[in-house]
Amino acid sequence: MKYTPEKVLDLDPYNMAGGIYNFLDDLNLAMETQIDIRPKFNKILVCGMGGSAISGDILADCIYSDYNYPVIVQRFPELPKWLDDETFIIVASYSGNTRETLALYDDAMEKGFKVTVITAGGQLLERAENDGLFILKMMPGLQPRCAVGYSLGLMLKLMDQIGGTSFKVQIGKIMPKLKKFREELASNRSVAWEIARRINGRTPTIYSTPEMSSSAIRWKTQINENSKMMAFSGLMPEFSHNDISGWSEGSVRESCVPIFLYEERMSKVKKKAMDAAIEVLRGYDVVPMVVKIRGKSTTEKLLRSVMIGDYVSLYLAYINGVDPSEVASISELKTRLGKILPYSKTKPKRRIISKGQK
């Protein structure tokens, strides 16, 4: 299926293709941000929803194997009880008006935790400025789900500053390869087009190893929003303990498709587990899609996987004849949630500026 520029303009009037293409450029730009804070911490909580939360998920996967502190992503608008003085909180909302995130911000400030804010504006920016916090300002004018590259870049650069990581150096080394890969994905004959054609008309479930789970979630959410399709994500080896029964004997075999994000470099144990799952499915006449993910490091594999999934979702939207930018149902639901979660139920009784945050 070939699309002329005129046809693409008709299907994609708000240029979601451009937002997806700019993922790497936004990542690069954000990582040039100057950051000058040094909080003491032994764990990190990222508070956010949607693309902001996905950035936190990717960050957590990037540091999972190599660093000695956990990164946890909190989406529900209530802080967990285990937080303490050694917790560093990142509150992220592109619009700055996400009600769940604002509720988490107010709670964190009232309890005096160390907080840094990532936003492009809105209520969150206003509150953080009033509270004298360190703010990582995002580039305005983006689709929120297209801001993942920028928010991820800020989080990775923040980790370089406060956690002793070297993501800027790592990503700088692999960026030429990633940009070449982007050109391949943006062509009419890319692997993303082939995957989209094979998915079309069926509901995908994207499976990955634990350290690639954030990219599987990103595939799911991008297919949900851009393609206007149901999609799910799952983990190996959990697949082998429950999902396999549904695929082998359930009623979803014709209407759904399993997709495995298959890392070309992974441990022998993980490879054997994934190979076994794929072979069992084939034995039950289920044909899974195996998407090979290249990369020497977890970070490179995650970025490549995210890029593939973004383009798959875009091409599925084109094939289905839907506008990938339009999300009327989400807007309607947010309006209804506004009656349940106002911007602030009450003004916090006290605002505490954590030491080292100015």
Q: What is the pLDDT of residue 344?
A: 54
pLDDT of residue 155: 97
| Residue 192 · residue 308 · CB < 8 Å | yes
Enumerate helices (H) and strands (E) in the chain, giving the number of each. Answer: 14, 9
Task: Report the candidate in 229, 230, 236, 191 with the shortest Cα–Cα distance to residue 213.
Answer: 236
Residue-level pLDDT at 74: 97
Extract the tokens encoding 327: 């999300």
Low-confidence ranges of the chain (pLDDT < 50): 5-6, 329-334, 337, 345-358
The residues that are catalytic are 225, 241, 334
pLDDT of residue 105: 97
Residue 345 has what pLDDT?
A: 43
Q: What is the pLDDT of residue 248?
A: 86
Q: In this predicted structure, what is the pLDDT of residue 342? A: 56
Distances (CA, A) of 206 to 168, 180, 229, 274: 29, 25, 13, 13
Residue 327 is predicted with a pLDDT of 62
Cβ neighbors of 35 (< 8 A, separation 6 or more) are: 136, 157, 158, 161, 162
pLDDT digits (tens, 9 = 90+) for 260-301: 999 998 999 999 999 999 999 999 999 999 999 999 999 999
pLDDT of residue 37: 93
What is the reported pTM?
Answer: 0.89
Q: pLDDT tens digits, residue range 21-46?
A: 999 999 999 999 999 999 999 999 99
**Residue 352: what pLDDT?**
37
Indicate if the alpha-carbon torsion angle 317, 289, 218, 249 is positive or negative: positive
* pLDDT recorded at residue 314: 95
Q: How far apart are CA 200 and CA 213, in angstroms?
A: 23
pLDDT of residue 198: 95
**Spatial distance between the Cα atoms of 91 and 45, rounded to a whole number of angstroms:** 8
Per-residue confidence (pLDDT) for residue 249, from 0 to 100:
82
